[in-house]
Amino acid sequence: METIKAKLDETPFQTAGPFLHIGCMPNAIKINKIYQNDLGEIPFKDKQENELITIEGSVFDGNGVALDDVMIETWQCDEKGQFNEDSGFARLIPNNITKKFTLKTIKPGSYKGFDRKTYSPHVSLSISARGLNMTLNTRVYFEDDELKNDPLLSIISLDNVNSLIAKKIKKNSYLFDIFLQGDKETIFLDI
Amino acid sequence: MNAKSLIKRNYEKHPEIDFPDYKSSIFRAPKNRKISFPSSNTETIGPIFNKNIIGKLDNDLTLNFSKNKISPLGHKIIVYGTVSDQFTNPIKGALIEIWQANAAGKYLHDNDENPAPIDPNFAGCGRCLTSSSGYYEFLTIQPGPYPYPNRGIEWRPMHIHFSIFGKSFGQRLITQMYFEGDPLIKLCPMVNSIRNEKAKNSLIGVLDTSKSNTKNLLAYKFDIVLRGIKQTYFENRKEGL
Ligand SMILES: [Fe+3]
């Protein structure tokens, strides 16, 4: 029931521009003396290496060039499907040689949503860069999970749904490339 | 239990994604329509950041990188305001991270090709968490405008970049604050990617001279509004009942 009306407009977005590292990940660009650590270096503390999965990939522009000035933020629940307000967040930038980002995290569990539907395991992404007037949102699902009843995936046509599903490349390791434009353009969400 | 949901975004009050006047968007902005989907737990619960990450000088850009307490060049300003949601509720504990150029319009960043000097006492980054009334404040210096390649060389108006986390991933906002009276604002394609005049104007920090006498500072007020979250209480019931 939408009975409450919003009184104010949301503040509009503006691009994060090419220098977002200064504000969001200063240690990554060798501004070391201000913050002890960059935010989101480790999504879950107290986890052992053997409990972690890796999701890696690149963000490609319309020319097929992998970006190195993009920031990807990730947010997810724990292995039991529980959201803990203070863990599960990570910030990533691509390696400036390989142009790949690497998320080391735990595999999220499935959860029953407020709508009582069951969501397949997924990680939410927010993507910011020069050239993007608004941050983009998408999700990563995993190809070795049961996906057919997921409330989001089931409304997306079969040709497109693959852009949201990470491929398993070896044990505990997944590939998830993001395409900003072109034939393989990733599905972005208004969520 | 409380079911939470975010109210839908009004894209008419936001910039256009595919906006060729801003050249970098041409090969980066997605061309397809976004898939609209109701927010679920992922978008409505966290992350929330703890105050133990915040250092004492994190919101004082005039001191957090200075050597021997030497002030950075430029005039000092206070940038302050409140963070609230669309229902006017103040948001406590919102994380605000800012970054900006120095007084000469130069960023402390290897990719900045503007031939202006860096300032050894200024990094241009700061952060803070809002108080229980949603209040935030930064002490910094007035950033300079700067040239950048777009349709030929163009000039960015003076601005400070803002990144904000409220209570949930779906409230995440990245934006820029401009300065009242800057003649470059109306020429800027990034500003003009927002078609709605009122929305555009909401990004302009308003000059406040009340601190000029006592603290020798100009202040700019910039209030931030994040998406509203509706909460509805429901009893836990068994499925199908
Ligand atoms: Fe800038």
Domains of chain B, first to last: 49-226 (2.60.130.10)
For A84, the domain range is 4-179
Q: Evaluate if residue B241 carries a pLDDT over 90.
A: no
Neighbouring residues of B214: CB distance < 8 A, sequence distance ≥ 6: none
Task: Tell me the C-alpha distance between B82 and B135, whole Å.
Answer: 4
The conformation of residue B148, written as its DSSP 8-state character, comes to E
Q: Consecutive 10-residue runs of chain A (191 residues): their mean pLDDT?
A: 76 98 97 95 92 97 97 98 96 97 98 94 98 98 95 87 96 97 96 91
Whole-number pLDDT of residue A7: 93
| Distance between Cα B31 and ligand 1 center (Å) | 25
**Tell me: the pLDDT tens digits for B118-140?**
999 999 999 999 999 999 999 99
Chain A 117-176, CB below 8 Å of chain B: which residues? Answer: 119, 122, 124, 126, 128-136, 139, 151-152, 155-156
Whole-number pLDDT of residue B212: 80
Domain-embedded: residue A26: yes
Domain-embedded: residue A191: no
Domain-embedded: residue A190: no
Q: Evaluate if residue B238 carries a pLDDT over 90.
A: no
Q: Which residue out of A4, A5, A7, A13 would a mutagenesis test of the B interface target, given it has the greatest number of B Cβ atoms within 10 Å?
A: A13
Whole-number pLDDT of residue B235: 60
Place of tokens 């986890």: A47
* Sign of the dihedral through C-alpha A171, A173, A179, A180: positive
Whole-number pLDDT of residue B240: 45
Tell me the average pLDDT across B167-185.
Answer: 98
Counted domains in chain A: 1
Question: Do B28 and A111 make contact, defined as CB atoms within 8 angstroms?
Answer: no
Average predicted confidence (pLDDT) for chain B: 94
Q: Is A187 on the interface with B (CB under 8 A)?
A: yes
* Distance in Å, alpha carbon of B36 to nearest chain A alpha carbon: 5
Domain-embedded: residue A188: no
- Check whether the bond before B30 is cis (ω within 30° of 0): no
Domain-embedded: residue A186: no
ipTM of the complex: 0.96
Domain-embedded: residue A143: yes
Domain-embedded: residue A87: yes
Whole-number pLDDT of residue B236: 57
**Tell me: the pLDDT tens digits for B10-60?**
999 999 999 999 999 999 999 999 999 999 999 999 999 999 999 999 999
Residue A143, CA distances (Å) to A115, A164, A172 in order: 24, 9, 12
**Tell me: the pLDDT tens digits for B187-198?**
999 999 999 999
The conformation of residue B142, written as its DSSP 8-state character, comes to P
Domain-embedded: residue A68: yes
Q: Is the pTM of this model over 0.90?
A: yes
Q: Evaluate if residue B112 carries a pLDDT over 60.
A: yes
CATH, residue A33: 2.60.130.10
Ranges of H-type helices in chain A = 20-24, 158-161
